[in-house]
Structure 1
Amino acid sequence: MSEAGKIAIIGDRDLVAPFKVFGLTVLTPASTEEARTMLAQVVQEKYAICLIQETWLDSLKPEVAELSHKFAPVCVGFSDFRASSESVENLMRELSIKAIGSDALFTRGRKENETR
């Protein structure tokens, strides 16, 4: 994979290990501090995209918010089949607003009075 197109994924080993087959750099932290170090490594090594499992996303929120002002890496959270919350939806909404100036992509399918 070219230097400009490197992708990292941070998450639990049992969930993210298979992504190595697709050429992603798999990072499996054991603690929040280790996750912060790994995210800093992703920045230092100039990855284009960093996928972050939702369980780690909450503890890395300040670092991800700081990175949102930079061009790369783009940090995107993902949820897995084991748990679900609004963290990923909120992050994707923020990215949508930053990219197109609207969260219209996330209002489709809602009832008029429904808010999230």
Structure 2
Amino acid sequence: MEVRPWHREDRRHWVIARRSIRWPDQISYYIAYCPAETTLDELIRIAGSRWAVEECFQTAKGECRLDDYQVRRYPGWHRHITLAMAAHACLTVLKAREADAGKAETDPPSSYPLPSPNSDA
């Protein structure tokens, strides 16, 4: 449902209600502020991605100390958050590479590499 339609011509405010499939009596509400041309499908997709973002922040809190900051001004907070999220991204990539390497060690190769022309073999 659109709210405050008089605010700006190029922006819209929406209230989105989402009912859980697993627990139909639980309803989540979102307030969205978006460009006027944003479709309802886009709003729903973005609202649904919230849980992935929440999980990312929870993991970063545990692994990268995202929530351990004691700053008094925005620049210090921003630097801490940026560094913690960069560390989390690095750890995620390393974990994915390790999983791929483990898979590669257990799977038989599809073909054997040919020796290079400069090799002694």
- Give the structure-2-normalised TM-score: 0.23
Higher relative contact order (CA 8 A, sep 6+): 1
